[in-house]
Chain A
Amino acid sequence: MWTRAIMSYRASFVLMLGANVVVTFLDFAVVILMFRHTDTLGGWTLPELGFLYGTSTLALGMANLFVGSIDALGERIRAGTLDTMLVRPAPALAQLCAERFSLRRLGRPVQAVAVLAWALAALDVHWTWDRVLLVPVLLVCGTLIFAAVFIGFASLQFWWGEAKELQNSFTYGGATLLHYPPTVFAKELVAGVVFGVPLAFVNWLPALRILDKPDPLGLPAAFQFASPLAAAIGLAVAGLAWRAGLRAYRGAGS
């Protein structure tokens, strides 16, 4: 329904889809422009950054496609329309995500696949079976981790209706962080996304193994394979936050 409604302004839709592809690509355009002035950034080459960019953007894009609509939660609470969802015989979380499912969101994953394909072709990786296996594992787990971050931080809107922007810091901000190698950042920041919000498991840690890079934190090698565990823990915490939020929800009174 929502997709059809958007399509009624056809010119707008085409422009928006195009703009969406380009605007997400701008992040990588900056990286390309940076590499016109240098050969490595934090010791990593352009194809290596392309790999980080492609994986991080694809994971974020897929998570956004499936559960991104959840950021409208605060508006629904304010308008009282969440109540309608709660009385329907389907999980509110599923309804919230299915609503406003928008084709426009395809722009991000599509261009991420393009950059990732280029990076994989340009990279000089010694492909062993564990490295080959890590790529799909990374993409699936990365999507799940970002989905958990979307849901977990959206749940805060049950208590703090205007917290939508806070979620952006960790989803879009997190993805931007993961476009660049961990060596660029302060160790505290890297530790924060390993042990705090587990974004480092989206691509940083598996990428260390795939691209054969030294770990700036010197963590055990097991961390590089631990993305599924991080995704499972992330989703469990997000699920608990969502349930706690629903239980705390008292309705808008309308």
Chain B
Amino acid sequence: MRNAVPVAPRATHPPDPDDTPAGGAPRLYLAVARGAFRRFSTYRAATLAGAFTNTVFGFILAYTFLALWQARPGLGGYDQSAAVTYIWVSQALLVTVAVWGGGFQDDVQERFRSGDIAIDLYRPVDFQGWWMATDLGRAGFHLLARGAPPLLAGSLVFHTRMPESPLTWAFFLVSVLLAVVVSFGLRFLVSLTGFWLHDSEGVRAVMLVVAMFFSGMLLPLALFPGLLGDLAPVLPWAALVQVPTDVFLERSTGTGLLGAFGFQLAWAVLLLAAGRLVQLLATRKVVVQGG
């Protein structure tokens, strides 16, 4: 891209990241995240309808889990109320950690289609950092708006198990934050395939399947048989739903909790680094037409 982008006169350039004063970058990302939070909060009716859908699915799935645990009490180390709670927490996380994909992906995809992606790469703000900030803002809003209502509804109707220690709520939030970062890392890589495929929709569809299955969204990973059961808990998708839900249910405590955080953190760092590498390769490849 270095020689293909027409060079604008120096005077009209936005400031380079190196020129920004100390503390400027975190402030900028905070503002970006806050902007994303506000942007999603404007779709009020859609959010309400979405929370309703999460609740409806929560009801249906909670009953099926009850039926299974009635037949097999204590299956996977969950008692009946833990199994039902598993459903409600996973419904609360579904949109927050974007198991289905989405969030910034929709925007990036649209920018690939319009060609605006070239401008993004030319901005003085880091491409990866910018989109991660928007995604964290989005996730924050969705945790409140699409996470809390189903969890509340579920705990009113079913015999659920809320955390006994108030600290668990804080640990849960940390785990959700890490889950969002891991999810972002995965989705960022999917989006970058657009540089080669021109349309990341297909890859995205495949990732949706993989994420649904291996995140523990459909069934706790402890219930997976054989090799699948050995493999699923070490893949990055386990960091999205299974790990935060086990933190919520206080199944991961003490060193187990540190292990859970370490697992999420390791995948977060690895995926972000991979994303950075691919981004570097991609920007080398971009050819911008016209002037």
Q: CA separation between A72 and B145, bound complex, in Å?
A: 24
- The reply to whether A189 and B59 contact each other, CB–CB distance below 8 Å, is yes
Contacts of B209 in A (CB 8 A): 19, 22-23, 26
CB distance from B153 to the nearest CB of A (A): 13
- The reply to whether B72 and A38 contact each other, CB–CB distance below 8 Å, is yes
The stretch from B14-22, B216-224, B234-242 touching chain A is B216-224
Contact among B63, B68, B202 for A14, CB-based, below 8 A: B202
Contact among A22, A23, A161, A165 for B53, CB-based, below 8 A: A165
- The reply to whether A30 and B198 contact each other, CB–CB distance below 8 Å, is no
- The reply to whether A15 and B71 contact each other, CB–CB distance below 8 Å, is no
Query: Given A165-B50, A169-B52, A184–B71 Cβ distance below 8 Å?
Result: no
- The reply to whether A173 and B49 contact each other, CB–CB distance below 8 Å, is no
Q: CA separation between A21 and B209, bound complex, in Å?
A: 10
- The reply to whether A9 and B57 contact each other, CB–CB distance below 8 Å, is no
Contact among B52, B67, B206 for A41, CB-based, below 8 A: B67
Query: Given A14-B202, A22-B209, A37-B223, A162–B43 Cβ distance below 8 Å?
Result: yes
Contacts of B75 in A (CB 8 A): 37
- The reply to whether A9 and B199 contact each other, CB–CB distance below 8 Å, is yes
Q: Which residue of A lies closest to B212 (CB)?
A: A26
Q: CA separation between A40 and B68, bound complex, in Å?
A: 9
- The reply to whether B218 and A169 contact each other, CB–CB distance below 8 Å, is no
Q: CA separation between A163 and B266, bound complex, in Å?
A: 39
Task: List residues of B (43-66) whose CB comes within 8 Å of A's CBs.
Answer: 43, 45-46, 49-50, 52-53, 56-57, 59-61, 63-64, 66
- The reply to whether A38 and B223 contact each other, CB–CB distance below 8 Å, is no
Contact among B45, B63, B212, B213 for A186, CB-based, below 8 A: B63
- The reply to whether B68 and A38 contact each other, CB–CB distance below 8 Å, is yes
Contacts of A12 in B (CB 8 A): 197, 199-203
Query: Given A33-B224, A37-B68, A189-B59, A160–B197 Cβ distance below 8 Å?
Result: no
**Considering residues B52, B203, B205, which has the most beta carbons from chain A within 10 angstroms of its beta carbon?**
B205
Contacts of B254 in A (CB 8 A): none
How big is chain A's contact interface, by range?
Answer: 35 or more
Query: Given A20-B205, A166-B52, A173-B53, A40–B71 Cβ distance below 8 Å?
Result: yes
Contacts of A166 in B (CB 8 A): 49, 52-53
- The reply to whether A23 and B208 contact each other, CB–CB distance below 8 Å, is yes
CB distance from B143 to the nearest CB of A (A): 18
Q: Which residue of B lies closest to A34 (CB)?
A: B68
Q: Which residue of B lies closest to A21 (CB)?
A: B209
CB distance from A188 to the nearest CB of B (A): 11
- The reply to whether A33 and B219 contact each other, CB–CB distance below 8 Å, is yes
Contacts of B218 in A (CB 8 A): 26, 29-30
User: Is A95 located at the chain interface by the 8 A CB criterion?
Assistant: no
Q: Which residue of B lies closest to A178 (CB)?
A: B60
Contacts of B212 in A (CB 8 A): 23, 26
User: Is A63 located at the chain interface by the 8 A CB criterion?
Assistant: no
Q: Which residue of B lies closest to A23 (CB)?
A: B209
Q: CA separation between A14 and B45, bound complex, in Å?
A: 35
User: Is A18 located at the chain interface by the 8 A CB criterion?
Assistant: yes
Q: CA separation between A13 and B68, bound complex, in Å?
A: 37
Contact among B72, B203, B224 for A15, CB-based, below 8 A: B203
CB distance from B218 to the nearest CB of A (A): 5
CB distance from B84 to the nearest CB of A (A): 13
CB distance from A167 to the nearest CB of B (A): 9
Contacts of B208 in A (CB 8 A): 19, 23
Task: List residues of A (50-70) whose CB comes within 8 Å of B's CBs.
Answer: none
Contacts of A33 in B (CB 8 A): 219, 223-225
Contact among B49, B52, B67 for A184, CB-based, below 8 A: B67
Q: CA separation between A185 and B49, bound complex, in Å?
A: 23
User: Is A36 located at the chain interface by the 8 A CB criterion?
Assistant: yes
Query: Given A26-B209, A29-B213, A162–B219 Cβ distance below 8 Å?
Result: no
Contacts of B205 in A (CB 8 A): 15-16, 19-20, 23
- The reply to whether A160 and B223 contact each other, CB–CB distance below 8 Å, is no
Q: Mark B180-224, 1 if CB is under 8 A from A, else 0.
A: 000000000000000001111111011011001100001100011
CB distance from B42 to the nearest CB of A (A): 11
Q: CA separation between A42 and B270, bound complex, in Å?
A: 44
User: Is A150 located at the chain interface by the 8 A CB criterion?
Assistant: no
Minimum-distance CB pairs A-B, first 8: A15-B202, A12-B202, A19-B205, A162-B46, A165-B49, A162-B45, A38-B71, A169-B56
Sample of 26 A–B contacts (CB below 8 Å): A11-B197, A13-B202, A16-B201, A18-B206, A19-B205, A22-B209, A23-B212, A26-B212, A29-B213, A33-B219, A33-B223, A33-B224, A33-B225, A38-B71, A41-B64, A41-B71, A162-B45, A163-B49, A169-B49, A169-B56, A169-B57, A173-B53, A173-B57, A180-B60, A184-B64, A186-B63
Further contacts, 8 of them, CB under 8 A, given A23-B205, A176-B57:
A19-B209, A22-B209, A34-B223, A38-B68, A163-B49, A169-B49, A169-B52, A189-B59
